[in-house]
Amino acid sequence: MARIIVVTSGKGGGGKTTTSAAISMGLALQGKRTAVIDFDVGLRNLDLIMGCERRVVYDFVNVINGEANLNQALIKDKRCDNLFVLPASQTRDKDSLTQEGVGKVLENLSKDFDYVVCDSPAGIERGATLAMYYADDAVVVTNPEVSSVRDSDRMLGILASKSRRAEQGEEPIKEYLLLTRYSPQRVKLGEMLSVDDVQEILSLHLLGVIPESKAVLNASNSGTPVILDDKSDAGQAYGDVVRRYLGETVPHRFLEEEKKGLFGRLFGG
């Protein structure tokens, strides 16, 4: 049985898709058979971030409607044999997703995979609630600013009350906080909430802090999950996140402003 992970946040532009791509790639690199599903029907992005947009034939909605089977729709990653992408449909809307349909797809994926990562769309509507409905674990992606924190908080409330586990009275979804786009400089200036501030409001287990980084945009543009850029701070931070998720104790990094050496100061960071 696969473990189903939902990457969610409520707010848009917070790094859900970047995180889904990074975590699924990270798990696959650790030898876990992993599938990542784009639930953002109508606003398909994951295929771009994963760099497989030119190989999409069938999509998630085709599978739900029985127009294609899973093996036809799953796109195997070229960099890692353990990783498969199930893209969203760009021509439909979120109403094409049904609870039974999603449930069936996840059940079938569960037979072959160790982890299924669900990339949730923004908002708390159908796409988002279906992405989290069957989840075992939730990675709540939050930016260090008040509106993002509140939206995450709202999402946590929905996770606790409207998921399958909640409805059937099972053990609740395991919730993890992932703070993204973190800038220690701006925290120091008081322009951003600190890790502690966010932790205090959300009182969640901190899975990791991803620093604001140029590497993320570069990775998105080139269709490479940022975790593969292991020279970058964001890539390393995602690497830590995956190891922490799998149970390793890894100290948190990139929480403090980096002291720039002479070269750094001369040539910029």
Partner 1 sequence: MRPRMSVRTSENPAPSHVFEIRGGSVNVPALRLFCSDIPAIIALLQERIQQAPEFFRDAPVVIDLHALPVDGEPLDLAELALALHQNGLVPVGIRSGEPGYQLAAKQAHLAVFSEVRHEPSPRPAEAKTPPAKLPEPKPEPRPAAVPTRIIQQPVRSGQRIYATGDLIVLAPVSAGAEIMADGNIHVYGSLRGRALAGVQGNAASRIFCMDLQAELVSVAGHYKVSESLDPSVRSKPVQVYLSNDALIVEDL
| Residues comprising the chain, all counted | 269
Q: Which amino acid is at 72?
A: Q
Q: Which is nearer to partner 1, 150 or 164 (CB)?
A: 150
What is residue 176's three-state secondary structure? strand
From candidates 167, 196, 200, 257, binder to partner 1 by CB under 8 A: 200
The answer to whether 206 touches 152, Cβ cutoff 8 Å, is no
From candidates 72, 161, 185, 222, binder to partner 1 by CB under 8 A: 161
Site for partner 1 in 234-253 (CB under 8 A): none
State the Cα–Cα distance between residues 2 and 223, nearest whole angstrom.
26
Strand blocks (E) in the chain: 3-8, 34-38, 75-76, 83-86, 115-119, 137-142, 174-182, 205-211
201 touching partner 1, by CB under 8 A? yes
Q: Please report how close the Cβ of residue 206 comes to partner 1 at its closest, in angstroms.
A: 15
Tell how strand 115-119 and strand 75-76 pair up: unpaired
153 touching partner 1, by CB under 8 A? yes
Q: Which is nearer to partner 1, 35 or 149 (CB)?
A: 149
71 touching partner 1, by CB under 8 A? no
Q: Which is nearer to partner 1, 68 or 160 (CB)?
A: 160
Q: Which is nearer to partner 1, 99 or 203 (CB)?
A: 203
Give rounded-to-5 percent helix, strand, coil for the chain.
45, 15, 40
Site for partner 1 in 168-197 (CB under 8 A): 172
From candidates 33, 92, 154, 174, binder to partner 1 by CB under 8 A: 154
157 touching partner 1, by CB under 8 A? yes
Scanning 37-45, 130-138, 145-153, 227-235 for contacts with partner 1 by CB under 8 A, the matching segment is 145-153
- Measured CA to CA in angstroms, residue 101 lies from 33, 64, 149, 166, 222 at distances of 22, 5, 31, 20, 32
Q: Which residues bind partner 1 (CB under 8 A)?
A: 150-151, 153-154, 156-158, 160-161, 172, 200-203
